[in-house]
Structure 1
Amino acid sequence: MRRLVCLLACSVFPLVGGCSSTPEPVTTPKPFKSAFINQPVPEKNVSQPVNRQIVSTGDFNNRPNVDQFVQRMVTKHGFNHARLQQVLAQAERYDWIIRLMDAQAPSSGQPSGPNGAWNRYRAKFITPDNVQNGVNFWREYASELSRAEQVYGVPPEIIVGIIGVETRWGRVMGKTRILDALATLAFDYPRRAEFFAGELESFLVMTRDEGLDPTEPTGSYAGAMGYGQFMPSSFQRYAVDFDGNGHTNLWDPVDAIGSVANYFKAHGWQKGQAVAVRGQGQLPGYEHGFQTRYPIATLRRAGLTPSASVANHQEASLLRLDVGNRYQYWYGLPNFYTITRYNHSTHYAMAVWQLGLAVKAARR
């Protein structure tokens, strides 16, 4: 089975993201030991980050919230108390992770009129070079993408679009140690400590079950992992061993393809159905966004008509894109909403869909 083995590059968050970077040189997988068992784990064909010597920093030693977490892991999952303490003692706390997390808070300011926000967002992803990279990825993994469509009903362009927006097809998967990111946020970020403690729990279970050294995997500053930037809890729920080698590895493009497709199927993707339809007309004053729901007939009476068939759909969300000198309206259909389950953003979902379509068109 083919493998694309990459170093993990820049930070993106979570299950979502997208940032551009020059890809780093590839590395060769190596044997490693799990921190939770006594015997060496056999060498596996998995993509692993470059090893670096880690020493105990003590950032999370003798902390009541850490001790409580360790005890819960022992009781709930059967971890060895001393070994888990040793692992967490190697985690490093970073203030910059907390600052970046705080910067994710939504802005309260709203533009007074169209200013081209969608154009700027779209331009980050849909470029000639990026589309060509998507074509190359699709060609290399055409059989796996076709198999994912057969098994899960999700077309290749959606899987390609997700992986392209998230990590530029593996070029920018993040270089922050997952252990550092999740420990920092679980133990020193009270606003979302409960959520990230759950993600740290899922990560430690994942590394134990997959025989990974928990000090090695890297990803985004919020703990998102691999080609599709899954959070650890999403790994537990949706990741699959799509290449059939007995291990589930999100840093492997084949497992990532199957896992993204499985995620979409689990969140209601409707095989063969449209994603969105461009609307003709303007609807000032109407609430918009992927979470809205309007009868198609109501939108038509208000002055919006679809530019293509909406098939048998009776309802749609009203999507509004800021294209500079005006707003562009779209009918968001159930499959569009499913894309937003990956990242709760109209811009994100539209970029995934349009990037996938651009790559599909360029393959012909």
Structure 2
Amino acid sequence: MRLPLALAPLLLLCTAAASADYGSHPKAATLLERLRQEHGFSAAELDSVRAALSEAQRLPQLVEMEQKAPERTETWTRYSSRIDQSRIDGGVAVLRDQQPFLDRAEEEFGVPPAVIAAILGIETRYGRITGNIRVLDALATQGFEHPTRSAFFASELEHFFVFCRDFRRDPAAIKGSYAGAMGAAQFMPSNYRRLSLDYDGENGRDLWTLPDAVGSIGHYFMRYRPSQAWRRGEPLIIPARLLAPLPAGTEVNGKATAYNAGALLRAGWLAADVDLPPDTPVGIIQLPLDDGSQEYWLALHNFYTVMTYNPRTFYAMAVAQLAQRIQQRLAAEAR
């Protein structure tokens, strides 16, 4: 019997999983001591953590999945296929179904409803696909074994156990992404603890529900990194055209604005399709296409705010363009 392609990665994970007994791993002692000292875990709670670590499954394929994420390996032509009709339709539906919560989030945090919807659409298709990998396995494998990012994942594993204690969740029962992100909003455990909100007043902070995910995304964009907080009313991207080859050393696809619009446009390298105040901070976005050409945009402050959610240019561009398409669809239907 031939398996559907969508099931193949899950079968690979299931067949390759093996008990690792991370409870006896040398790094486990450091984790347990931090849980005791920094978070006040009792002896009984630490025993529960040891038991969970001992039962965690080793999934080394997750390291390869993280290192070969689509944002790292695809062209923009391929990656942008995520901005498909079903995501546009789903975004319009979410804007209607969750309107009271989206309107409240915009009022409180300034983040437009279409942008919050686009995050949900790119992350989990509006809460329909939140991940089928045990978060315990994902974070333990990468926290103890990732060759370059073990410190990050070990920290998230620590926060995961605190989350499970404080939210009264079974560590072995929670499923999420290969990186350990959870819920419709795909928050890592540290951000779940710090930035999630109970937006509907029901059952605490539950990011598997869309109202709580909506409010938490808006809250994230305002509070995650204050210096990069969302700026109300400002766009994310402006279309641009290349007029002359960019000089060697020109920063493209960076993590923050690197130029001001006036100086950049006076240099004659790019032309923007929208007039910007000369002192507007911007970055240059260069998107590789399948035919070998490049697509150019100017990115503004809020584009880089989206990159705090996922620090990949393609991801932020997909969110920005999906939000535009959702908004365009709403405007067309209102005519």
CA distance in 1, matches of 2:88, 2:316: 17
Structure showing the higher helix proportion among its residues:
2
Aligned ranges 1:88-167 → 2 under 5 Å: 88-104=53-69, 117-123=75-81, 125-167=82-124
What does 1:1-364 correspond to in 2, within 5 Å? Answer: 57=19, 59-79=21-41, 80-104=45-69, 117-123=75-81, 125-245=82-202, 247-266=204-223, 267-286=228-247, 287=250, 288-290=252-254, 291-303=256-268, 304-311=270-277, 313-323=279-289, 324=291, 326-363=293-330, 364=333
User: Could you say if the C-alpha distance between residues 330 and 191 of structure 1 is closer, same or farther in structure 2, counting changes exceeding 3 Å?
Assistant: closer
CA contact (8 A) 2:237 2:298 kept: yes
Give a deviation string over 1:273-330, Cα, whole Å, max 9, x none. Answer: 1212112443422422243512222222222232113257433111223344643322
The root-mean-square deviation of aligned C-alpha atoms, in Å, is: 2.6
Whether the 8 Å CA contact 1:21–1:171 is kept in 2: the answer is: no
In structure 2, the CA distance between the partners of 1:218 and 1:132, relative to structure 1 (3 Å rule), is same
TM-score scaled to structure 1, two decimals? 0.76
Q: Are the counterparts in 2 of residues 274 and 310 from structure 1 also a CA contact under 8 Å?
A: no
Q: Gaps (5+ residues) in structure 2? A: 8-17
8 Å contact kept, 1:282–1:327? no
Q: How many residues align?
A: 304
Output one character per residue of 1:19-52: Cα deviation in whole Å (capped at 9) or x when no partner: x979xxxxxxxxxxxxxxxxxxxxxxxxxxxxxx
Give me the TM-score of the superposition, normalised by structure 2: 0.83
- The answer to whether the Cα contact below 8 Å between 1:295 and 1:315 also exists between their aligned partners in 2 is yes
Q: Any conservation in 2 of the 1:58–1:89 contact (CA below 8 Å)?
A: yes
- Which deviates further from its counterpart, 154-163 or 260-269? 260-269
Aligned to 2:13: none
> Does structure 1 conserve the Cα–Cα contact (< 8 Å) formed by 2:257 and 2:301?
no
| Identity %, equivalent residues | 36
Which shifted more, 214-223 or 294-303?
294-303
Structure 1: gaps of 5 or more residues: 1-19, 23-55, 110-115
Deviation for aligned residue 1:145: 0.8
Q: What is the CA deviation profile of residues 244-301 of structure 1, one whole-angstrom value per residue up to 9, with x for unaligned ones?
A: 2361111111111111111111241100112121124434224222435122222222
Q: Deviations over 1:214-250 (max 9, x none)?
A: 1111001110111121111111222111112361111
